Amino acid sequence: MMSINRSKIPSARRNWVISRRVFLKSSAASLAGLTALPLSYTLATSRPNTARIGILTDCHYADKDTDGSKYYRESDDKLSEFIRIMKKQEVDCLIETGDFIDEDDYSEAQTITNLQTIEQIFQGSPPPHKIPMYHVLGNHDMSRLSKSQFLSYITNTGIDSNLTYYSFDINGLHCVILDANYGKDGSTYYDYDHNNFSWTDPNIPPAERTWLEADLAAAQGPVLVFIHQKLDLHEGYNDDYCIKNDIEEIRGILEDSGKVLAVFQGHRHVGEYSYINDIHYCNLKAMVTDSGEANNSYAIIEVHPDRSITVSACRNEIRREFDARCSVADLTGDCEVDFGDFAKMANDWLDKGL
């Protein structure tokens, strides 16, 4: 079940929509110019005004046996479905929010082989698609590799291959990719590297925070932030999946900018939602969770000219349920529709092949 923190009701100027848009029908039936700036890039697109992003999290691809609800070997087929649907939906870019691979049982050489396999699928080969694509680093990505090794085998469109955090613009939307994969020893921060870390102690170092503050200050439009580890630590929710060190300062940078609409996260494999000081925090469900195409999870994010956000969910991502009764239309007014009813309706569509 998807949990929701409703400590503060979203303001009307930042509507949050969970949609059962028409592309769900096509997905069921079909399952059958970069300008470089320092740490920041601008995407050219043919669709004005509304930015559309295809998003997934926690693919955890690995050639190893199932562990509980994690079906590692099925992530390649699930990712292939995601790419097919995103191509048909003509999204502006693709973002995966970390833990692209899971190689805790394997050697470095096997890790690289599996990373090459899943990255080729993400690139749409064969033949490759032309959709700009971006990776967020997750802790499992450094279980058997260094950051530089991981980055050398993947593509972040138009981004320097050495960068682990960066930003880009599309259709007036500023997208920020953060890296919290740092350990801390006293006042010294160090990169996650070949499993030299505790996954419950992620950190964003001062240098990255300084960059983030400057990047947000320079942003010309509304902002979405993408990160693997969770930023929505709040009272009564002391979660190992959250960033704890300096979290008030980090969220304060986002809040003080007045530009950040939402943060999209992974790491914790269940769907969750929080609303804290005018910013939405959306935790997507992991792609690796559960077996079969019906349990795939991914979504399309749309940010409209009025700064409203639509999250159109596919497959298992559509089955997120809030533990309160919340309107399908938005989260700004009285709760009217149970997401369980919404999920049943969407599943009926899929079962009928609509």
Helix 75-89 and helix 23-30, axial crossing angle in degrees, nearest 10: 130
35 forms beta bridges with 42
Q: Please report the pLDDT score of residue 352 as a whole number.
A: 44
Distances (CA, A) of 167 to 40, 140, 149, 202, 223: 5, 22, 21, 20, 10
Run of H or E including 39: none
- Retrieve residue 318's tokens: 């559509």
Q: Please report the pLDDT score of residue 320 as a whole number.
A: 35
Euclidean distance between CA atoms 222 and 9, whole angstroms: 20
**Confidence band, pLDDT 50/70/90 cuts, at residue 48:** low
Average pLDDT over residues 82-89: 93
- Retrieve residue 67's tokens: 């562990």
Would you say residue 250 has pLDDT above 80?
yes
- pTM of this prediction exceeds 0.75: yes
Look up the CATH superfamily of 3-352: Metallo-dependent phosphatases (3.60.21.10)
Euclidean distance between CA atoms 76 and 113, whole angstroms: 13
Asked whether 249 and 264 are in contact (CB, 8 A), the reply is no
Q: Please report the pLDDT score of residue 314 as a whole number.
A: 76
Q: Where are the domains of the chain?
A: 3-352
Average pLDDT over residues 141-153: 97
The better pLDDT of the pair 19, 76 is held by 76
Average pLDDT, the chain: 80
Q: Which of 213, 100, 201 is nearest to 147 (CA)?
A: 100
Residue 260 identity: V
